[in-house]
Every structure is written in structure tokens, then in C-alpha cells.
């Protein structure tokens, strides 16, 4: 049994297997529909945090592959309070063939994996966001026809998204740069692991407080919200700190003319990204959003079809 908890758990070959599976399933779907390779399989979807893309893409993905999905809302379980995480994992393991969880604490994700008898898929935790990162690298590969040698620049909060994006970029041969304000950088242990990976792969990993420096000659410019769910109390302070990190048309001129812009959504337009960029010719935001469906089908197929 294999879980999908973190990009760091997988080799480059493993990650390419997921991506090639996603591409074949997308091509098959576009050509008329997917084969029911997950017939009679059921995915339990545990949500502590709401999400448009996560819920719909996983549910539709299971349906396309011949299976089904059950949405379990935050109030139905109250994970870790009304019912313990180990009990939830053990109970659901008796009902479903896999569990996708979208949680606040990564410790809850690890507990689910420890006690579950079926595969756990990380739909988001405060530590990382591996399904989104696989979507992003799939979108980049689809657009450029390659990943190796590209420069991916991330501008904004050194959050769970930045962690997973950095890791998948380096594992698959892309250079990575990140610009975050002081006090909002990636955790030291995450950066340390990133630098070790970059050294092994002979790639560049650069950190800066200057967004212009980060995006210089970049092929991909990526951003995310300045205030994530669970950080609402910090919102006022973050709105003071982050405006220089907005991805706007001026900043985009520092990247390559062929650069594309990605954002995992939802976007706070006028904050981390302007309408002009989000809706502009270099934006891949909505192709990226669609690809959540296809990238996650690749994960579901390889974890649940056996």
C-alpha cells in the first residue's frame, strides 16, 4: 500500500510515472472518455478546509474512472476533537478504498496514514500541498514540452504551496527561485532539504527578499494568496508586508517574454495578482485549474487501481 503524502516521498521516476499516467488519462478522456479502471472503488473525502477545486476535481475524477466519492464535511467528523484521528482512519478503512484528506495540521495527515488500511492522499495540509504541485508541474510540462532546465520563480508567502512546488521542481530538473519578505520565508528545514536536493541535481535554488531578482529570466512565475485559511488573524499585518510581492505586469517584464503565470487559486485579485496578469495572455491559471482533474486521476489510478 502506498500513500500520497508529500512530493519528498517519491523519486523522480515515481513522479514521472504519475505525470505520464495523468497525460494518458487526459488524452483518453479528451478522445471520448476514460475506461472504468476504478469500477466499484470508493474514495472517502475528509474536509477540514473547504475547497472548490479539491472537492470537485477528486469527485469528478473518480466518476470518470468508474468509481465514486463521498464528501465528508468538517462538521460530520470534527477531526481530532469530536472523534480521534486514529479512530477516523480505522473506521473509514472499513468502508472505502482510499481516503483523500484536506486538513489544517500535517500531523493529522501523518496520523491518518499511520492508522489507515487504505491509501491516504494529501489534499492539503499546513505543511505541503502535493496534489497541487503535481498539477502545476504537469501544466508546465504540457505547455513547454519539458521541465528540465526551466526556471520556476515563486513570489510571496513561503507556505505549504511553495514547499511542494520547490520540491517537485528540483526533483524533475528545474531551477527554482523564491522571493518572500522577512519573517515569511520557507522553514529552515525545508530550505535545507531543498539545497541538498539542488546540489544533488546540480540545479540552482535561490532565495531572496527581492521579487525582481527572483523572477529575472524566469520561465514560470508563480504566486499564491498572502493569507491562507487559518491565518485570518494575521491578515492586516500581511496586507502591510506583502504589496511589493504582487505579480503585476511590471514585475512580469523581468521574466522571459515567453514566461507563463500560475496560481493555485482562489486568487485575491488586486492583492497577490492583478486582473491584467490573471486574465492576460501569459496566464495559465484556468488550464492549471482544469489540470487538477487530470493530475489527480493519475494519482488515483496508480494508488487505487491495483
Could you report the per-residue pLDDT of 7-28, keeping only the tens digit for each? 999 999 999 999 999 999 999 9
- Max mean pLDDT among 66-80, 142-156, 224-238 falls in 142-156
Contacts (Cβ under 8 Å, ≥6 apart) of 22? 134, 138, 291, 294, 295, 296, 297, 298, 299
Q: Are residues 112 and 155 in the same domain?
A: no
More confident residue, 77 or 147: 147
Catalytic residue (one of 132, 201, 246, 296): 132
Structure confidence at residue 154 (pLDDT): 98
Q: Are residues 224 and 168 in the same domain?
A: yes
Q: Are residues 165 and 63 in the same domain?
A: no
pLDDT tens figures, 104-134: 999 999 999 999 999 999 999 999 999 999 9
In this model, does residue 155 exceed pLDDT 90? yes
Structure confidence at residue 78 (pLDDT): 78
Residue 234 binned pLDDT confidence (cut-offs 50, 70, 90): confident
Answer yes or no: is 95 within a domain: yes
The domain of 37 spans 7-129+292-304
Answer yes or no: is 168 within a domain: yes
Q: Are residues 195 and 273 in the same domain?
A: yes
Q: Are residues 20 and 121 in the same domain?
A: yes
Answer yes or no: is 167 within a domain: yes
Structure confidence at residue 82 (pLDDT): 80
Q: Are residues 171 and 99 in the same domain?
A: no
Q: Are residues 89 and 143 in the same domain?
A: no
In this model, does residue 230 exceed pLDDT 80? no
Q: Are residues 274 and 173 in the same domain?
A: yes
The reply to whether 132 belongs to the active site is: yes
Q: Are residues 91 and 138 in the same domain?
A: no
pTM (predicted TM-score): 0.97
Structure confidence at residue 105 (pLDDT): 95
Answer yes or no: is 190 within a domain: yes
Strand locations in 6-159, DSSP E?
42-47, 68-72, 98-102, 120-124, 151-155
How many Å apart are CA 7 and CA 19, to the nearest integer?
13
Average pLDDT value for residue range 234-249? 95
Catalytic residue (one of 201, 264, 294, 296): 264
User: What's the burial of 60, exposed, middle or buried (CB within 10 Å: 0-12/13-18/19+)?
Assistant: middle
- The number of helices, as runs of H, and strands, as runs of E, in the chain is 13, 9
Residue 233 binned pLDDT confidence (cut-offs 50, 70, 90): confident
Query: SS3 for 247?
Result: strand
Answer yes or no: is 1 within a domain: no
C-alpha cell at 31: 478522445
The reply to whether 90 belongs to the active site is: no
Structure confidence at residue 71 (pLDDT): 97
- What CATH number does residue 143 fall under? 3.40.50.1370
Number of domains in the chain: 2
The reply to whether 264 belongs to the active site is: yes
Answer yes or no: is 29 within a domain: yes
Query: SS3 for 306?
Result: coil
Strand locations in 204-270, DSSP E?
205-208, 220-223, 260-263
Structure confidence at residue 50 (pLDDT): 87
Angle, CA of 279, 285 and 178, to the nearest 5°: 105
Residue 159 binned pLDDT confidence (cut-offs 50, 70, 90): very high
The reply to whether 224 belongs to the active site is: yes
The reply to whether 55 belongs to the active site is: no
The reply to whether 296 belongs to the active site is: no
Amino acid at each position: 500500500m502506498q500513500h500520497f503524502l508529500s512530493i519528498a516521498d517519491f523519486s523522480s521516476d515515481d513522479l514521472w510515472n504519475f505525470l505520464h499516467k495523468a497525460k494518458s488519462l487526459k488524452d483518453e478522456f479528451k478522445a471520448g472518455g476514460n475506461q472504468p479502471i476504478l469500477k466499484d472503488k470508493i474514495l472517502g473525502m475528509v474536509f477540514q478546509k473547504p475547497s472548490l477545486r479539491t472537492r470537485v476535481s477528486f469527485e469528478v475524477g473518480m466518476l470518470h474512472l468508474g468509481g465514486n466519492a463521498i464528501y465528508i464535511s468538517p462538521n460530520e467528523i470534527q477531526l481530532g476533537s469530536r472523534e480521534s484521528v486514529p479512530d477516523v482512519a480505522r473506521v473509514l478503512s472499513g468502508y472505502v478504498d482510499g481516503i483523500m484528506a484536506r486538513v489544517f495540521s500535517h500531523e493529522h495527515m501523518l496520523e491518518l496514514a499511520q492508522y489507515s488500511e487504505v491509501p491516504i492522499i494529501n489534499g492539503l495540509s499546513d505543511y505541503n500541498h502535493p496534489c497541487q504541485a503535481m498539477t502545476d508541474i504537469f501544466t508546465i510540462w504540457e505547455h513547454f514540452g519539458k521541465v528540465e532546465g526551466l526556471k520556476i520563480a515563486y513570489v510571496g508567502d513561503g507556505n505549504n504551496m511553495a514547499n511542494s512546488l520547490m520540491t517537485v521542481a528540483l526533483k524533475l530538473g528545474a531551477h527554482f527561485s523564491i522571493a518572500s519578505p522577512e519573517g515569511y520565508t520557507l522553514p529552515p528545514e525545508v530550505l535545507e532539504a531543498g539545497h541538498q536536493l539542488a546540489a544533488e541535481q546540480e540545479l540552482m535554488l535561490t532565495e531572496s527578499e527581492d521579487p525582481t531578482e527572483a523572477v529575472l529570466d524566469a520561465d514560470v512565475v508563480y504566486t499564491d494568496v498572502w493569507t491562507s485559511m487559518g491565518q485570518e488573524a494575521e491578515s492586516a499585518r500581511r496586507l502591510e508586508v506583502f504589496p511589493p510581492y504582487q505579480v503585476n505586469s511590471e514585475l512580469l517584464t523581468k521574466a522571459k517574454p515567453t514566461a507563463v503565470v500560475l496560481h493555485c487559486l482562489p486568487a485575491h485579485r488586486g492583492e497577490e495578482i492583478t486582473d491584467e496578469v490573471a486574465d492576460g495572455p501569459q496566464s495559465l491559471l484556468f488550464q492549471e485549474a482544469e489540470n487538477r482533474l487530470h493530475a489527480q486521476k493519475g494519482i488515483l489510478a496508480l494508488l487505487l487501481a491495483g
